[in-house]
């Protein structure tokens, strides 16, 4: 018992010493060190993506104008508007900042037909809210009335490339008031020259849709201003007038619609986007390119590593069985391997990806299906050499079974090839996933580097000068693949005696 325990301890020390020696040899290969640094950086990117960019940069995650250039190219437009809110008194703390009034389009109607009030109730974390109220106490017919709150601000920058209005809204309709009679709206007043140029379209372009019109609870909205509207309104050194209002008109001349319409507005913002945004700009849909690069790294690493591990494990089993048992088993398995090696891989992948329901798991399995034949052939070749060596013959002569010989003697001696195949196979899987994504055969709601290249190609990013949407995803694919190839090359040198320098 003592002798056996001593042998186990010596065996463990031997394996530990062998690992230390192998690591030292690996460290001496500079390619391997560079590969580890590259892969570590990408793993850090994948892990930090949810923290750095909590909002998934998918189809609806607009953060700026289409094809906004990186912020560090800002020197081309020093007067570009900064990303900030331009409205004064966003949370309605100062009543004097807003000019509130009731306008009857026709005179001679009761004063109590329309009214307005400034709310003093604590609705949102101690902030005030703007409350507009329309009151109908008249049973006679009358013409439309408008209740509004207006404010202005000075705009000093160049014309923005995108303008968004954000606000919170809540409503309450009481009495017999017909909801179709009350229309809440947001308007930006156009300058006289714009009204002259656009004619009757000026009023339509300056209004912002507030649908759905009647949320009973606080609801956040984001509305984009049309190009012609912000082109005329947001000119350098101009005064911009912003208006919240309620328009009221009975649905029928003789209708009796008494009651109240109450609307609250809060946290209102006007965001003017310049033609620059973030460290790497935006996509054709105004999404953050840098956020997509970080989230896309998760997809590439997941598919690359999982597909390669599955492929190498299957290839290891096939290679061990075919090489060790030879004969008809070897012939049968190798003909299957030959079939997978000679068929055109990419077209078959495309067909499978198109037929099967697209998902990340399906994409991974499709790539893994074609990842095992190469490793199986390489491992089989090494097994054929190992099984003819004296220590294998000695083990068989001592009565050891086939399974024991394979896992105790043959497998440890082909482990070097397993590590090399794992390291080098990831790059192939990453390229395969990127190719399928570029062809649109992976889930379209998934952010990946291949999808980024597909979108940049489909929208003519280079023709629009948006190089930041083309080069970064392509560079990420090349760097990550190169990192794993460097690691595989270094592992081969460190663990393969034939590759070592004398």
What is the token pair recorded at 397? Answer: 């002569």
* Same domain for 359 and 292: yes
Cα 436 → chain centroid: 18
As a whole-number percent, the residues of the chain with pLDDT over 70 amount to 84
Question: Cβ(170)–Cβ(108) under 8 Å?
Answer: no
DSSP string for residues in 126-160 = TB--EEEEEEE---S----EEEEEEEEEEE-SPPP
Q: pTM for the complete prediction?
A: 0.70
Look at residues 184, 209, 188, 189 and name the one whose alpha carbon lies nearest to residue 132.
Answer: 184
Q: What is the CATH number of the domain that holds 356?
A: 1.10.3720.10
Which of 216, 241, 273 is the last residue in one of the domains?
Answer: 273
As a whole-number percent, the residues of the chain with pLDDT over 90 amount to 19
Look at residues 371, 491, 385 and name the one whose alpha carbon lies nearest to residue 432.
Answer: 371
Number of H helices, E strands in the chain: 15, 9
- Specify whether the backbone of 347 is left (phi greater than 0), alpha (psi in -120 to 50) or beta: alpha
Q: Best-predicted range by mean pLDDT among 53-67, 115-129, 133-147, 261-275?
A: 261-275
Q: What is the domain range of residue 325?
A: 15-64+282-499
Per-residue pLDDT of 406-460, as tens digits, reads: 888 888 888 878 888 888 889 889 999 998 988 888 888 889 999 999 999 998 8
The number of domains in the chain is: 2
- HEC string for 247-275: EECCCCCCCCCCEEEEEEEEEEEEEEECC
- Rounded to whole angstroms, how far apart are CA atoms 400 and 384? 18
* Same domain for 403 and 256: no
* Same domain for 87 and 55: no
Q: Is residue 47 part of a domain?
A: yes
Per-residue pLDDT of 177-233, as tens digits, reads: 777 778 888 888 888 888 888 887 888 888 887 777 788 888 888 888 888 888 889
Helix then strand then coil, in percent of the chain rounded to 5, is 50, 15, 30
Distance (Å) of CA 196 to CA 189, 242, 288: 13, 20, 38
- Rounded to whole angstroms, how far apart are CA atoms 87 and 105? 28
**64-68-72-76 Cα dihedral, nearest 10 degrees:** -120
Which of 246, 273, 300 is the last residue in one of the domains?
Answer: 273
Q: What pLDDT does 498 receive?
A: 58
């Amino acid at each position: 018992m003592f002798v056996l325990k001593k042998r186990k301890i010596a065996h463990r020390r031997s394996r530990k010493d062998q690992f230390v020696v192998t690591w030292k040899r690996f460290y001496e290969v500079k390619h391997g060190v560079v590969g580890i640094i590259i892969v570590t950086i990408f793993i850090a990117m994948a892990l930090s993506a949810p923290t750095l960019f909590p909002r998934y940069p998918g189809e609806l995650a607009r953060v700026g104008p289409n094809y906004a250039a990186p912020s560090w190219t800002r020197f081309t437009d020093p007067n570009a508007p900064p990303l900030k809110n331009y409205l004064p008194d966003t949370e309605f703390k100062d009543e004097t900042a807003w000019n509130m009034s009731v306008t009857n389009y026709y005179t001679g109607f009761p004063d109590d037909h329309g009214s307005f009030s400034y709310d003093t109730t604590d609705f949102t974390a101690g902030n005030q809210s703007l409350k507009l109220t329309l009151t109908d106490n008249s049973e006679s017919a009358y013409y439309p009335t408008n209740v509004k709150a207006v404010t202005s601000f000075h705009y000093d920058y160049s014309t923005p490339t995108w303008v968004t209005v954000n606000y919170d809204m809540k409503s309450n309709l009481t009495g017999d008031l017909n909801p179709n009679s009350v229309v809440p709206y947001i308007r930006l007043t156009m300058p006289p020259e714009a009204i002259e140029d656009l004619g009757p379209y000026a009023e339509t372009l300056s209004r912002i849709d507030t649908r759905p019109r009647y949320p009973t609870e606080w609801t956040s909205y984001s509305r984009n201003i049309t190009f012609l509207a912000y082109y005329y309104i947001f000119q350098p050194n101009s005064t911009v007038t912003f208006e919240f209002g309620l328009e009221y008109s009975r649905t029928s001349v003789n209708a009796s619609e008494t009651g109240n319409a109450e609307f609250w507005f809060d946290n209102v913002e006007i965001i003017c986007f310049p033609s620059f945004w973030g460290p790497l700009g935006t996509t054709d849909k105004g999404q953050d390119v840098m956020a997509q690069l970080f989230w896309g790294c998760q997809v590439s690493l997941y598919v690359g590593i999982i597909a390669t591990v599955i492929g190498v494990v299957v290839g290891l089993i096939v290679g061990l069985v075919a090489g060790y048992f030879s004969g008809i088993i070897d012939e049968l398995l190798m003909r299957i391997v030959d079939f997978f090696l000679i068929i055109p891989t990419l077209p078959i992948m495309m067909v499978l990806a198109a037929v099967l329901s697209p998902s990340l798991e399906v994409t991974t399995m499709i790539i893994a299906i074609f990842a095992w034949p190469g490793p199986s052939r390489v491992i089989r070749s090494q097994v054929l050499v190992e099984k003819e060596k004296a220590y294998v013959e000695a083990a068989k002569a001592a009565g050891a079974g086939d399974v024991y010989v394979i896992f105790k003697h043959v497998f440890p001696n082909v482990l070097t090839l397993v590590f090399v195949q794992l390291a080098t196979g990831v790059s192939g899987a990453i390229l395969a996933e990127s190719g399928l994504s570029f062809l649109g055969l992976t889930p379209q709601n998934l952010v990946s580097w291949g999808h980024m290249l597909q979108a940049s190609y489909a929208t003519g990013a280079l023709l629009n000068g948006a190089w930041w949407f083309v080069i970064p995803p392509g560079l990420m694919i090349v760097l990550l693949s190169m990192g794993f190839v460097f690691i595989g090359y270094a592992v081969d040198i460190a663990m393969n005696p034939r590759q070592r320098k004398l």
